[in-house]
Amino acid sequence: MNNQLYINEIQTLFDDVQRSQIFEDQKTMTDAVPLFSVSEINSKYENEKNAEGFDLKQFVLSHFDFLGTKISITRETQLPIDEHIEKLWDELTRTAYEEKGTLLKLPKPYVVPGGRFNEFFYWDSYFIMLGLQTSGRIEMMENIIENCSYLIQTVGFVPNASRTHFLSRSQPPYFSLMLDLLFETTKDETIYIKYYDTLEKEYAFWMNGEKDLENGLSIKRVLKTVDGDILNRYFDEANEPRPESYLIDIEDGENAGEEFYRNIRSACESGWDFSSRWFADGDTIQTIETLNLAQVDLNSLLWHLENTLAKSSSLQNLSEKGKYYSERATGRKRMIDKYFWNENSGTYRDYHMKKNTKTSSEHIAALYPLFLGLATENQAKSVAKNIEEKFLYQGGLVTTTKNSGQQWDFPNAWAPYQWLGFKSMKNYGFDDLAEKIKTNWSSNVERVYRNTGKLMEKYNALDIETVAGGGEYPNQDGFGWTNGVYLKLKQN
């Protein structure tokens, strides 16, 4: 059972299970492992489903293994938060040396986020690595990089997560930043040579289709502006309901446009599922238009990938390639200024290709040019002012200024952006603001831990009496990137 085949092969049963809502979480069925051959399960289902007294849930429970579809962590006594996290690294470690159901095999052990997320996630793993670095777990950092490299070499990219139904999309490309983190830890420059081919393959994935693209058009993850400039966007190969959110997508898509599902899936590639950032009207998911946008975070990360390829080429005296990637990075830096910097609002915005203008959504991804050192001193000063006035609350940095009920909107504070905010401010000498970001969010994490004994996926930055809300599923505990960012911030 490889690629999308498993879910396709049980499509009738899968459709019936998801529509009947016999499980509270639509992800449960996607993670289930068949106990018998798929053809045998299908045959039995067709023969039995119309019989009097047939119990669909009982049929599914007797033909699939649901062990490990959710991680539950309990402690008899509450440990100090640092000790709790150290134990969590081992409890969240998994292996997948062979495919099981939808789970992809990987060559090395890895750390999962926690809660309902019991597989390897791409951009989560970078922020998990921050904590592993602090904990001195260098081998696991190397494992994560090896797993990413394996996926890029075998699949062509790192999928959103290590399940077959994620093989149509990736997530924010953090592989080159993972190498930087390992180099910072080991001082071993040869990693840039060792993974050079992997870096090139990931770059080819993101740039696929650019060669013959005409002005004002887009293909896959590449778009060409009316001025002939190349930018990138998030994209998904498929235009159908997500298996892990099957019924939700079907219901949301009833009164939406023909590429609704692809727009939904493309937003998932960003990691921001979901946010008013993607909505044409700023309010409703039916107006989602991810495909019309070039995103400041993605293009900043691809600048870093180009820059890393230039550096890696130089280390190997590959002068022609070094020149090529260096020119690509220089060009992209110029494009980031041209298409994403908004002088009037003093911050970075996404670019709307069809309207040839910047979007109105104010969001925390404006930090990326500061995080990666692309902003000028004046731009950084302006963004820092904007962040302090509009995004920083008692419980940390919020993701947007709009409260839409979506989980990647106000008032939620997510771990990745606390680290990006802290590091961005440190990069440009705004040390007091960096300290405030660190203190506000870390204090919120500690408060929730004292009250619940858990580290959560996300936090409420405004009302520090509650945890966090919004989104397609309840707040999850574990939690990989929160553990990583918390440890890293406390170290700084």
What one-letter code names the amino acid at 411?
P
Cα–Cα dist 250/242, whole Å: 9
Instruction: Give the C-alpha separation, 68 to 95, whole Å.
Output: 12
Decide if 381 contacts 428 (C-beta within 8 A): yes
- Angle (CA) 94-98-102 rounded to 5° is 80
Give the pair of three-digit tokens for residue 392: 């920083």
Which member of 25, 119, 457, 477 is catalytic? Answer: 457
CA 77 to chain centre: 33
Question: Alpha-carbon distance 111 to 441, whole Å?
Answer: 23
For 73-193, strand residue ranges (E) read: 93-94, 110-111
In the set 31, 273, 297, 362, the catalytic residue is 273
Distant-in-sequence, close-in-space partners of 81: CB < 8 Å, separation ≥ 6: 445, 446, 449, 455, 486
- Residue 180 falls in the annotated catalytic set: no
Nearest to 138 by CA among 182, 89, 195, 188: 182
CA distance 236 to 238: 6
Cis peptide before 274 (omega within 30 of 0): yes
What is the residue whose two structure tokens read 């890029």?
Answer: 152
Q: Is 9 a catalytic residue?
A: no
**Paired tokens of 402:** 């709009």
| Residues forming a β-bridge with 400 | 363
Catalytic residues: 273, 457
